[in-house]
Amino acid sequence: MPAEGGDGMRHPARIVVLGFLAASLFAGPAFARPEGSPEPPAGGEKPPVADARPVVLQAPDVELLDQDGGNVKFRSDVLGDRIVVLDVFYTSCGLVCPILSAVMADLQDSLGERLGKEVSLVSVTVDPATDIPPRLKEYAERFHARRGWTFLTGKTDSIAPVLKSLGAYTADFTRHPAMILVGDARKGEWTRYYGFPSAELLLAKVNELAAARRVPLRRSEEEQRSYFTDLPLVDQDGREVRFYTDVLKGRTVVVSFIYTSCMDVCPLLMANLTKVKTLLGEKMGRKVHFVSISVDPEDDTPEELKKYAERWEAGPGWTFLTGRKDRIDWVTYKLGQYTSDFQEHSMLLLLGDVKTGRWVKVPGDQPPEAIVERIDTLLGKREMGE
């Protein structure tokens, strides 16, 4: 029987956590800054040290079941536009899962009234064949889960894509990774912690995300120029352009990262962007501008980018950029998309309204209609002056 939650008594979550801490098995600090981060061009500022590595969450909107047996859509209902802390587990797990759940329970207590309003906790089973809603309900009660902490199960073919999107899928569910994700689903900003981060660490990340939502979005032109950098790059027509002044300033943009010799993700991304361009119609080049930055500037000369743009019938309003490698590296780093091996570049799209300061990250393989919907939201908020 679970311990009662009265004064002077400690429920099993606390006992498990304290026992585990006593064994000194908790993971150390969050991910350090990746090796090989680029040096800024001469005269530029040094890259900040990152406390954790962000991840891209391509959440499917599949239908699942919560612990009460209710039907919910994973992306639209469960994640929504909330700040979310998410783990994976299974109810018959003997060690790792109770520890993770204990951390979540401690975080639940720290959140207080914020739970279910500003912040959601989500636990996804890796064993949907066994973990039917009544079992989830019983498990949730063991950790005194309150409204705002959702436990999810469903059909195997619905749970699998969710686990894959979280980076938690394994053929043998008993070998699933110990991990917790924290993110702002509205902005698409996620951090994955492997091991057993403390509730204090998770709460600090939640508070950071919440504080970022309260920061005034509009920044002065000088602040934006300084952040994005105004380094000189070269477009597909061989013209020198300043990244902020000539490419971004005042615009609503869709930024992508490509290289012309790419044979796998880039053609898929470009095909999707071409469909987005078609759906935008007259907005393309007038209200919305596409910016594709080569992550292989040493091979992607302006001439190569020109041929690439023509191959995809890019047309007006679509700028392709190359330039000195140190400058391209610094621009991609400032946009959070730098990688020392350009072949491992992200398929992520950055949708932003530079005028209002609103930015969202969108997986490049999302349906074109969904991407256009996000763009229209940015345009709508601009027109309303938000």
Gyration radius from the chain CA atoms: 23
Whether residues 202 and 271 fall in one domain: no
Task: Say which residue, 37 or 349, is predicted with more confidence.
Answer: 349
| pLDDT > 50? residue 15 | no
Whether residues 181 and 60 fall in one domain: yes
Residue 241 lies in a domain: yes
Q: pLDDT tens digits, residue range 204-233?
A: 999 999 988 876 555 677 888 888 899 999
Domain boundary among 164, 179, 214: 214
Give the CATH number, domain containing residue 312.
3.40.30.10
Question: What's the pLDDT at 336?
Answer: 82
Residue 62 lies in a domain: yes
Whether residues 225 and 371 fall in one domain: yes
Question: What's the pLDDT at 132?
Answer: 98
Q: pLDDT tens digits, residue range 225-271?
A: 888 899 999 999 999 999 999 999 999 999 999 999 999 899 999 99
Residue 159 lies in a domain: yes
Q: pLDDT tens digits, residue range 175-210?
A: 999 999 999 988 888 999 988 899 999 999 999 999
Q: Is residue 166 exposed (0-12), middle (13-18) or buried (19+ Cβ within 10 Å)? A: buried
Q: DSSP E strands: which ranges in 135-178?
A: 149-153
Instruction: Taking the CA atoms of 86, 90, 92 and 95 in sequence, report the sign of the dihedral they define.
Output: negative
Structural contact between residues 182 and 151, judged by C-beta atoms closer than 8 angstroms: no
C-alpha dist (Å) from residue 22 to 15, 18, 47: 11, 6, 37
Whether residues 193 and 165 fall in one domain: yes
Say which residues have a Cβ less than 8 Å from residue 174's Cβ, sequence separation at least 6.
90, 93
Nearest-angstrom CA–CA distance, 190 and 183: 4
CA angle 221, 226, 231 (to 5 degrees): 110
Whether residues 47 and 149 fall in one domain: yes
Whether residues 303 and 288 fall in one domain: yes
Domain range holding 23?
12-214
Whether residues 114 and 176 fall in one domain: yes
Whether residues 169 and 278 fall in one domain: no
Q: pLDDT tens digits, residue range 135-153?
A: 999 999 999 999 999 999 9
Quick one: which H or E segment has residue 98?
Answer: helix 96-111
Question: What's the pLDDT at 1?
Answer: 34
Whether residues 162 and 281 fall in one domain: no
Q: pLDDT tens digits, residue range 313-322?
A: 999 999 999 9
Per cent of the chain over pLDDT 70 is 84
Q: Is the pTM of this model over 0.75?
A: no
Residue 311 lies in a domain: yes
Structural contact between residues 74 and 60, judged by C-beta atoms closer than 8 angstroms: yes
Instruction: Taking the CA atoms of 1, 152, 190 and 212 in sequence, report the sign of the dihedral they define.
Output: negative
Residue 156 lies in a domain: yes
Domain boundary among 214, 249, 271: 214
Whether residues 108 and 192 fall in one domain: yes
Quick one: tokens of 71?
């039907």
| pLDDT > 60? residue 9 | no
Whether residues 52 and 192 fall in one domain: yes
Quick one: which H or E segment has residue 267?
Answer: helix 265-280
Residue 374 lies in a domain: yes
Nearest-angstrom CA–CA distance, 371 and 365: 9
Domain boundary among 214, 244, 266: 214
Residue 4 lies in a domain: no
Q: Look at the chain and report how many structural domains it folds into.
A: 2
Whether residues 278 and 314 fall in one domain: yes
| pLDDT > 70? residue 29 | no
